[in-house]
Amino acid sequence: MLLVVACVPMMVVGLVAAAVLGAAGDSADPAGATALPAVAALAAATLLVGLGGMPTLGTEPSPTAIGVTGGVWAAASLVAAWARAADQVGTGIGDIGVGQFSEVMSHGAPDLVAAVCALAVVGWACAHLLTGAVVPVQVVAMLGGVGLVAVAISAHPGTHAVMPVLVAAHALAAAWWCGTLAALVLTVRGRSGWARSLPRFSELALWAVLLLVLSGMASAVIELGSVTALATTGYGLIVVGKSVGLCGLVALAARHRITWVPAAVRHKSTQTQAIRRAAIQLAMMAVVLGLAVGLSVTAP
């Protein structure tokens, strides 16, 4: 659990990198009050998408972990909603009134949608732990996905009709890839566990990465409009930084597919080795996700 929590500071590193790149392109600083709670919300929702999909990989997640993560997501989403409202009103977080908050939220409240999804996840966990109610854990992944997509589309409205579809596909592919690896770290134990789950994850991850890359490229082309914008705008520079990070991440994942997966299948990868390899990949994923948060609050 500590390893997964440690990914949040790495996301902040990516967010700060986005701020630096945005400033180089004369864009507003993305590392503001709205972005910081968004980082925590994104991390929690991404993990829930992964935890909810664990049965696909032959393992079951902890309802307690799901409940705690859902609570974090709910709290972070509410803070993000309040910070977003304060930003739109043009006042500090501590100065905005309930009436002003309600007025801003009446024009669109993606963070509140995420908070409702998060509370539903907490409800799922409580029902499972207290009453033994049998509701498929895949519902958790669905709720995580809905909340993620609501926030992602609002951050990238775009001017083209296809943008919401591209943004949703990009967000879900990233959440599944990153969240599932983090969920594996939380749930899988022993050589036999990794031998069972890691190969299946590797197979599915190939398609997730393909969707991630294609949707990201299409979105960038639509938003930027020209190649020169990659070097002349803050949005373009963050896109470049995110692309470089993603290329490094894909290269590492490919190396793991060639070395780690066969070793796990042959029961030659110990729990410690598996955690170490996953930690390196998760750290890189977290930085790229932080860049994505920065990109989402930067105007093209």
Per-residue pLDDT at 299? 74
Per-residue pLDDT at 293? 86
* Residues 100-149 pLDDT 10s: 777 767 767 888 899 999 999 999 999 998 887 788 999 999 999 999 99
Query: Smallest Cα–Cα separation from 11: which of 28, 36, 32, 34?
Result: 36
Q: What whole-number distance in Å separates Cα of residue 110 and Cα of residue 108? A: 6
Give the type of residue at 287.
V
The two three-digit tokens of residue 194, written as one number = 């990794």
User: How far is CA 276 from each of CA 166, 185, 256, rounded to the nearest angstrom?
Assistant: 33, 10, 12
Per-residue pLDDT at 30? 54
Query: Smallest Cα–Cα separation from 43: which of 85, 84, 14, 83?
Result: 14
Question: How many of the other CB atoms lie within 10 Å of CB of 194?
Answer: 27
Per-residue pLDDT at 284? 94
**Which pTM was predicted?**
0.91
Query: Smallest Cα–Cα separation from 121: which of 70, 46, 65?
Result: 70
